[in-house]
Amino acid sequence: MLTFPAFDPVALELGPLKVRWYGLMYVVAFLAAWWLGRRRAAQPHSTWTPAQVDDLIFYSVFGVILGGRIGWLLFYGHGAMEHDPGYWYKIWQGGMSFHGGLIGVLIALAVLARVHGKKLVDVFDFAAPLPAIGFGAGRIGNFVNGELWGKPTDVPWGFAVPQADGTVQVLHASQLYQALLEGLALFLIVWWFTSQPRPRWAASGVFLVGYATFRIAVEFIRVPDRDIGYLAGDWLTMGQLLSLPMLGAGLVMLVYAYTRREPSGNCRHAGA
Q: Are 266 and 43 in contact (CB under 8 A)?
A: no
Q: State pLDDT tens for residues 55-81.
A: 999 999 999 988 888 887 877 766 666
Cα separations in angstroms, 85 against 10, 77, 79, 80, 234: 23, 12, 10, 8, 32
CA distance 142 to 140: 5
Write down the pLDDT at residue 6: 86
pLDDT digits (tens, 9 = 90+) for 75-111: 776 666 666 666 666 665 657 788 888 899 999 999 9
Could you tell me which residues are beta bridge partners of residue 12? 19
Q: What's the predicted TM-score (pTM) here?
A: 0.89
